[in-house]
Structure formats: structure tokens, C-alpha cells
């Protein structure tokens, strides 16, 4: 497999090919996912919940993220590596520069930030300095206390329209990828069609340009609960690499997510 870049993902969107993404936090799983042909790996601040046993992503630090990014980098040859910017690590532009530099130096090829159009200036400044940005809208876990829990976002017409406008603004600011989490399927489709950049969904329906899952959910080993939008691919295969290959093929064929995994 040729080395995957942001240009690769953009070309896939233009050709109507689905993008498969998964989280990883260490070299062993990263190597397995890379060899299976996954297009991108996210070192998610989800590690706070699935690795550290926290009840949210908020306690995760930039140092935590950098450590796990270094681990993943050592296992990857071709897959694009994206690292989450954790809670309050980009409250100011200067803080964002420092945090992003640490994650890029640890091995990331792109960083991910949660938030709407208020991030525009920061994204533009990061891109100007050579740091590719993935934006994240919908259920943004770092805002869980504002939302009052992990709830589907964008069901009201005004909030859906605001999310579409935010997505367009983030693209204009320079974001090269967008993650949509826990939103109605129709809204996921509308945003994917409105943008030139690839849109990756997690609980955002089947009409986004690709899918991402937390690896613990995709392998049925989450310690808390199995989200509605996930599927245990290990149960279908009995082998981890085969499970990831099935996930990739099911996304590529448009079979995952199924109707049972989406929000209306």
C-alpha cells in the first residue's frame, strides 16, 4: 500500500471511495491496522476512557497524547496518523501552536480539534505554519458537560443549519478533514455533500465519505458499553486482523453502518 496522505483521502472522496479509520494507542495494534490496510489511525483522547478508565476525555493531557502518538508511529508504515488535541490544549492560538508542535514532533501527520467556527483563526494559523488540521463537529466529547451528557446533536433545524455553516467555515479556514459524531444521518449526508474535503462519520450515517470507530468498540472489548453506532467485527471473525479487514470492506461496500447503527 502506498503511503497515505491528506491528498490520498481527498482523491478518495472525489472518486467516491469510502475511507476507513480507527483509533489506536500502541505500536502493536497500529502495525496490525496498518498491515490490514486501514486508511488513517487516530490517536484519540478516547484513551482517557478506554485505557485510563476515566469517565470522560477531560483528564487527558498533551503529554499523554504525545506518548501514545510516539507508540503508534513506531508501528505504522503507510497509514495516515492523526492525533487529538486534548481538552483546553488549544484555548489560545499560542497554546495551540505549542500543543500541535508537540504532537507533530511525536509522529502525527495531522492534529484534530473539536469545535465550530470559533476555531477558524487558530486553524488558519496552524495551517500557515505547516500543521494539517482535522476538525470535529457534532457530539464533541470535550464539551460533554455543556451538552449535559453524551447526546445526539443537530436534531433541531436551527442547530443543524448552524452545524452546516460551521462545517463550511472550518473548511474555508483550512481544515483538510472533518469528523462528525452522533448526528442524524440526513445531516451527515448534507454536510458531506456541502464540503469539498472528506467527511468522516462516527454515528453520522452511511452517506459520509468514511467511517471511524474506537478500536475497543470495533473489537467488542469496550469496558463501559457498546455505542449504538458501533459493531463488534471480532465477533464476526474471531481474528483481530480479519475483523479490521472486514470493517474496511464493509465500509468500502457501504454495508456499514447499517440502519441499526444510525440516528434519524
Known binding-site positions for Mg(2+): 45, 84, 114
Query: What's the pLDDT score for residue 150?
Result: 67
Of 82, 90, 35, the C-alpha closest to 62 is: 90
Residue 149 in this model has a pLDDT that exceeds 90: no
CATH of the domain at 41: 3.20.20.60
Q: Specify if 152 maps to a domain.
A: yes
Query: What's the pLDDT score for residue 222?
Result: 72
Q: Specify if 263 maps to a domain.
A: no
Known binding-site positions for 3-methyl-2-oxobutanoate: 45-46, 84, 112
What is the tally of structural domains in the chain?
1
Query: What's the pLDDT score for residue 143?
Result: 78
Residue 247 in this model has a pLDDT that exceeds 70: yes
Residue 224 in this model has a pLDDT that exceeds 70: no
Q: Specify if 121 maps to a domain.
A: yes
Q: Specify if 261 maps to a domain.
A: no
Q: Specify if 30 maps to a domain.
A: yes
Q: Specify if 46 maps to a domain.
A: yes
> The domain containing residue 201 runs over which residues?
6-256
Average pLDDT estimate for 185-193: 98
Distance CA 7, CA 2 (A): 12
Q: What cell numbers appear for 9 in the block? A: 483521502
> Hey, which residues are catalytic here?
181
Distance CA 145, CA 155 (A): 19
Query: What's the pLDDT score for residue 223?
Result: 63
pTM over 0.75: yes
Known binding-site positions: 45-46, 84, 112, 114
Residue 74 in this model has a pLDDT that exceeds 70: yes
Q: Specify if 186 maps to a domain.
A: yes
Residue 199 in this model has a pLDDT that exceeds 80: yes
Q: Specify if 188 maps to a domain.
A: yes
Average pLDDT estimate for 48-72: 95
Amino acid at each position: 500500500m502506498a503511503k497515505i496522505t491528506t491528498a490520498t483521502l481527498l482523491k478518495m472522496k472525489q472518486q467516491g471511495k469510502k475511507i476507513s479509520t480507527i483509533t489506536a494507542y500502541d505500536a502493536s495494534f497500529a502495525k496490525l491496522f496498518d498491515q490490514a490496510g486501514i486508511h488513517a489511525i487516530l490517536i484519540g483522547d478516547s484513551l482517557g476512557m478506554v485505557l485510563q478508565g476515566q469517565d470522560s476525555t477531560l483528564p487527558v493531557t498533551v503529554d499523554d497524547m504525545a506518548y501514545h502518538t510516539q507508540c503508534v508511529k513506531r508501528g505504522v508504515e503507510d497509514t495516515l496518523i492523526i492525533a487529538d488535541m486534548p481538552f483546553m490544549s488549544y484555548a489560545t492560538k499560542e497554546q495551540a501552536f505549542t500543543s500541535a508542535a508537540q504532537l507533530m514532533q511525536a509522529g502525527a501527520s495531522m492534529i484534530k480539534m473539536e469545535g465550530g467556527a470559533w476555531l477558524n483563526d487558530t486553524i488558519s494559523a496552524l495551517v500557515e505554519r505547516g500543521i494539517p488540521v482535522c476538525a470535529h463537529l457534532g457530539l464533541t466529547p470535550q464539551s460533554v458537560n455543556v451538552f449535559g451528557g453524551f447526546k445526539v446533536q443537530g436534531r433541531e433545524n436551527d442547530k443543524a443549519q448552524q452545524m452546516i455553516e460551521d462545517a463550511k467555515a472550518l473548511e474555508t479556514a483550512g481544515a483538510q478533514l472533518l469528523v462528525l459524531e452522533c448526528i442524524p444521518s440526513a445531516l451527515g449526508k448534507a454536510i458531506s455533500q456541502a464540503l469539498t474535503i472528506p467527511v468522516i462519520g462516527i454515528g453520522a450515517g452511511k452517506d459520509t465519505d468514511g467511517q471511524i470507530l474506537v478500536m475497543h468498540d470495533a473489537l467488542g472489548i469496550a469496558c463501559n458499553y457498546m455505542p449504538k453506532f458501533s459493531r463488534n467485527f471480532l465477533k464476526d471473525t474471531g481474528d483481530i486482523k480479519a475483523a479490521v479487514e472486514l470493517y474496511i470492506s464493509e465500509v468500502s461496500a457501504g454495508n456499514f453502518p447499517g440502519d441499526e447503527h444510525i440516528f434519524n
